[in-house]
Structure 1
């Protein structure tokens, strides 16, 4: 008998010893990090309110209870009974029954009302019909991305179950080595921004953390080194994704092209945003005449192999590694990833990208952990003079700039990144108009901004407490304000907006490197009454940086592809302080208040000056060992 089968037998015996005599368990199996328990008495299981929690505590596993298919109420009857249990105000929009697993997926506008206090409504559903309920939110704004991901995962349920069972057996396999050590190898984003990728290794396990591209460059992570994929793609046991931005996620599908067939762990909103951005990455490459590094099929494989985990859940991802994700405050679903290695042997935290202070959109990054010996810390704004404007001052300057532009009778165009920055600006504008700080006018959203916003509205539990309360308790979703309009009519609609009343336009791309912002410059650029406001970092070499620096003539291609010059007469303003990254003070505060404070810090994801400045400051101010590693270095701990 294999070690895994022995563990399952032991788990089955423990469960039988713990449950009442009138409840039977027919089988147990692993699906990814979860232990799935099959029973012919799901209703009795549900009646014992704390039983699953007690078993999870005893076995130190996440547990899902499923009924044997032949004891389930027929779907037609179950549908009627489920609707009788759930309050009408929950806004149930769909019930989807899966007899193979005994699960019913309940889609509702207010999932909390379906769950009930401490899961009471879910237990009542199982008591009545036997089916195991799973609850998902109906997106308040229709999202093709969310819909497509859910439909695809439904279509691939059989394959996904096979993947999860295989992953589960891999997680719970026997540890082969008696050695105990930890290594971190740097495959990218060291003394540079972009192509984030690291390998965390133990004697038994290899985990890849992030796998991104480098904006404006063809450089990719050093995946072919022996520590990574040099011994084959499946020498990696698991992948952990900190967040969806392309400099962290773009090349994950490449792993599947190389033959990887294992799990990717991340949060649920990161999974959806990742799919959106990766498909757009392929579209941009095709439009620019570049050969994409992988096909869209590999994006689907990436999604199919993703195992979502929630903030704070301790999750087994290898025989000797547990992962816990915590809010990083950077973008929706971004996570500080904490790895507990061995039986208390060592703990490592990867910050991903972080914002330490609370913003309008997100709560600040979590830095409270049971233990951390080593921290891998982003340093994007780690330079000695990298201090950002206070958020309230930034908002006030934005409001004043918009008011002055409105008084001149012009239109305002704001280039913005689709994920994070745009939603932050939307919240500022919504409140400013609602409270009369700026005149009410249409706010047009162009490019991927509307779709990214729709994904944000699907996961309000990941947003700032105030925004979440407005959505959950006050039924005042700020993203549904009447001011916002989705530009979905292409060039004809852009022309109408340009000819119509005063307005604000939020458009991708944030660095003016292509996309709909180029059309808006063509429509609005020649008029000196109009204003362009930069609210995000403009990288060296981008068109946004050139315009920000005073360039008033830019190359443009006409409808026939011929190159022309466009004269820019519009006013150009910059409002700092809306970055999703912590500035120098925020990074220091993150480390200074970290509980416990780490013994070692690796400063990464910043240019050479930034990482060295931050590394030096942390060493001198907090008396800890710090490093500013180069790519292709390996650090051994223990």
Structure 2
């Protein structure tokens, strides 16, 4: 239940801000992390567009202003007004209505033109119709590639009443007020400590329990596939929130599993993470089912998760529990990847969890953020904590050289890639090389798996990409496309490509050869020494990619007839470092040198033991140079707990 004093303070603050402006309030609701103010006089918002911002500043909470359903115009009238006010150049493709939340979803090519300068059109539409605009960008791609995104929007609209009830239930939990006064913060590693994969971290206070990421282990099986969700203090139904930093399976692959076992709370993500997460989870289910593996959850749990996601923008401070505020910051790892800043209590403790991050610009993304309001404890990934990577331009030249050499001998280049991030980075490099004639003009680039759909989602969120890529997309260009880039349609086309005499480049998922079309191509291409297998990303321990990288040249695979066959790796095997979305040792140390303010505690995770111990030693040795003279560096294992503030 709410604390009466807190509710009273919220209501009085809202009334004091709105009453002098003749805003006719019909009711005030707690909807998830937001306080929703329902009004009957939306015209006042056109005169005072700063109202919500001023209340949010006073209360230090997220505010949304909705209109009372009784004053909203009909859908037909609203559509006509939108089309009158929005310039034709915006390219409106579709208009849909959310009756429950009072939102009108407008799908258009140019989002900015729909909102208007300074959100002038947004405010005018709200004032004249009573409906709030929610604009979704429609990139100039094959609409099949937006199928998942459209289904997410349609499903959420069809379940609006459920979603509103969920938001109000979670709002009651978030804004209930602090009950317990024992002031402590405990961090427990459930996965991804002294290892790469199955990332999951439990943060506990006297009042709340929050789970940071919940992924699978791509190289694990059986018990090691899952994080340690079986510990006594983790009961899904008692969790206050799940925070997902980015859409790679080792960080979000098991989120629907929580809903299977009783979790009914919110999942906080960025918008691209929501879309990519759903796409990759459904892809995982498909791969496991085709491989006769029993999936840990079904599409039903994925759908339930969709209804419980709450998307946040970078820099948006959000209450996720009575004593915890969450803010996302750009991590530079993949589209929508975020560092999670947790502000616990009234200044009790501040945690920054980096997730996976890149402290260096790439063709695709800007580098990770380094400035935070406060930090006492930093949980930092250490994937490449024991090594430096080549510069990106050097890696690109090596890739183009390797492809050219293989094409010259009439071979095929197989590049296993993660559908999110690495695929788009490599596509940018290959398209640029084709445009600059660094590759033979007849070189075909085949893309297989979910790469096209994932790339379409990148085109939907250009504001989160690097300035160079963003500017091209906003000019209605597709920087990932070229006439030589060809989408693979089905198993037969895959076999035809592999059997043909045509030299080619093949980008296929998954990046660690742990399922998907990349494994099928490997089986068909491995025996021919003219071909080349190129690794451009980290290969986790236990995966087929890691085994081949470590020298294994005879592997057992399932053939077309379902029988096991021995496959000899006669093709050239090449690993090109420098394309990773992770920070290398040099970048990790540079991040610590630049971070502001400086943390008192550093907890290293997401790395194999050698990488973590090497980085920990380097931090201690260089602590004064890094501006961290008194820092404490921790290297816990899975199931270790650290009290970083107070005592339980």
Bin for the TM-score computed over the shorter chain: over 0.9
Does 1:13 pair with 2:19?
no
User: Cα gap change, 1:549/1:170 in structure 2, threshold over 3 Å: closer, same or farther?
Assistant: closer
| Number of the residue aligned with 1:589 | 590
User: Residue 267 of structure 1 contacts residue 310 of structure 1 at CA under 8 Å; is this kept in 2?
Assistant: yes
Q: How many angstroms does 1:267 deviate by?
A: 0.9
Residue 308 and residue 548 in structure 1: after superposition, are their counterparts in 2 closer, same or farther (change >3 A)? Answer: same
CA drift of 1:7 comes to: 4.2
Runs of 4+ in 1 over 6 A off after TM superposition: none
Deviation of 1:139 after TM superposition, in Å, equals: 4.3
Q: CA deviation at 1:496?
A: 5.0
User: Among 232, 238, 241, which residue is 1:226 paired with?
Assistant: 232
1:200 equivalenced with 2:207 (yes/no)? no
CA contact (8 A) 1:69 1:101 kept: no
Q: List per-residue Cα deviations over 1:418-472 (Å, max 9, x = no partner).
A: 1111111001111111222223333211012222222222222222222112212
Q: 1:610-625, aligned counterparts within 5 Å?
A: 610-622=611-623, 623=629, 624-625=631-632
Q: Distance in 2 between matches of 1:187 and 1:496?
A: 43
Offset at 1:234? 2.1
| Equivalent residue number for residue 130 of structure 2 | 130
For residues 7 and 442 of structure 1, the distance between their equivalents in structure 2, rounded to whole angstroms, comes to 63
Is structure 2 residue 58 aligned with structure 1 residue 58? yes
- In structure 1, the gaps of 5 or more residues are none
Show the 5 A alignment for 1:18-167: 18-19=17-18, 20-141=20-141, 142-167=145-170
Match of 1:454 among 450, 453, 456: 456
Indicate the larger mover: 174-183 or 161-170. Answer: 174-183
Q: How has the CA–CA distance of structure 1 residues 9 and 39 changed in structure 2, closer, same or farther, with 3 Å as cutoff?
A: farther
Partners in 2 of 1:189 and 1:550 — Cα distance?
25
529-538 or 423-432, larger mean C-alpha shift: 529-538
Give the secondary-structure state (helix, strand or coil) at the position aligned to 1:603. Answer: strand
Q: Distance between the aligned counterparts of 2:138 and 2:594, measured in 1?
A: 38
* Cα 1:409/1:290, change in 2 over 3 Å: closer
Aligned position for 2:320: 317
Equivalent residues of 2:23, 2:39 under 8 A apart: yes
CA distance in 1, matches of 2:157, 2:476: 30
Aligned equivalents of 1:451, 1:270: Cα separation in 2: 14
Distance 2:529 2:181 in 1: 72
Task: Supply the distance in 2 between the matched residues of 1:500 and 1:609 (Cα, whole angstroms).
Answer: 44
Q: Give the Cα separation in 2 of the matches to 1:589 and 1:566.
A: 43
**Separation in structure 2 between the aligned mates of residue 180 and residue 550 of structure 1, nearest angstrom:** 52
Q: Does the residue aligned with 1:559 lie in a helix, a strand or coil?
A: coil
The 1:379/1:165 distance shift into structure 2, 3 A limit, reads same
Q: Is the 8 A contact 2:101 2:164 kept in 1?
A: no
Alignment of 1:192-591 (within 5 A): 192-217=195-220, 218=222, 219=224, 220-229=226-235, 233-383=236-386, 386-440=387-441, 441-472=443-474, 474-492=475-493, 494-495=495-496, 498-499=499-500, 501-548=502-549, 553-591=554-592
1:378–1:606: 8 Å Cα contact kept in structure 2?
yes
* Residues 193 and 380, structure 1, Cα contact 8 Å, conserved in 2: yes
Greater mean deviation of Cα atoms: 122-131 or 306-315? 122-131
Deviations 1:308-351 (A, max 9, x none): 11111011111111100111111121111001111122111111
C-alpha contact 1:199 1:227 (8 A) present in aligned 2: no
Contact 1:495/1:523, CA 8 A, preserved across alignment: no
Relative distance call for 1:415 and 1:105 in structure 2 (3 A) is same
- Tell me, in whole angstroms, the C-alpha distance in 2 between the residues paired with 1:448 and 1:130: 39
CA distance in 2, matches of 1:266, 1:541: 29
Q: Equivalent residue of 2:480, what SS?
A: helix
User: Counterparts of 2:69 and 2:230 in 1: how far apart (Å)?
Assistant: 46
Please list every run of 5 or more consecutive structure 2 residues that lacks an aligned counterpart in the other structure. 624-628
User: Structure 1 pair 63/376, CA: closer, same or farther in 2 (3 Å)?
Assistant: same
Over residues 96-144 of structure 1, what are the superposed CA-to-partner deviations in whole Å (9 max), with x where a residue is unaligned?
1233332211111221221222212211222332221111222443322
- Is the contact made by 1:82 and 1:129 (CA closer than 8 Å) also made in structure 2? no
**Higher mean C-alpha displacement, 408-417 vs 173-182:** 408-417
Alpha-carbon distance between aligned partners in 2 of 1:39 and 1:81, rounded to the nearest angstrom: 21
Deviates more, 1:342-351 or 1:46-55: 46-55
- Tell me the C-alpha RMSD between the 2 structures: 2.1
Q: 1:495 to 1:5 in 2, by over 3 A?
A: farther
Residue matched to 1:628: 635
Is the contact made by 2:196 and 2:540 (CA closer than 8 Å) also made in structure 1?
no
Secondary structure of residue in 2 paired with 1:468: helix
Q: State the 1:90 CA deviation.
A: 1.2
Q: Distance in 1 between matches of 2:588 and 2:536?
A: 21
Deviation at 1:357, TM superposition (A): 0.6
Quickly say closer, same or farther: Cα 1:196–1:489, change in 2 above 3 A: closer
Quick one: distance in 1 between partners of 2:494 and 2:295? 30
**Given that residues 32 and 171 in structure 1 are in contact (C-alpha distance below 8 angstroms), is that contact kept between their aligned partners in structure 2?**
yes
Residue aligned with 1:143, SS? helix
Structure 2 CA distance for partners of 1:497 and 1:79, relative to 1, 3 Å: farther
Q: Given that residues 42 and 65 in structure 1 are in contact (C-alpha distance below 8 angstroms), is that contact kept between their aligned partners in structure 2?
A: no
> Which stretch of structure 1 is more off in the superposition, 274-283 or 89-98?
274-283
2:498/2:524 contact within 8 Å kept: no
Identify which range, 515-524 or 18-27, moves more after superposition. 515-524
CA shift for structure 1 position 569: 4.3
> 3-state SS of the aligned residue for 2:173?
helix
Q: How far apart are 1:601 and its partner, in Å? A: 0.3
Q: Quick check: 1:182–1:201 contact (8 Å CA) kept in 2?
A: yes
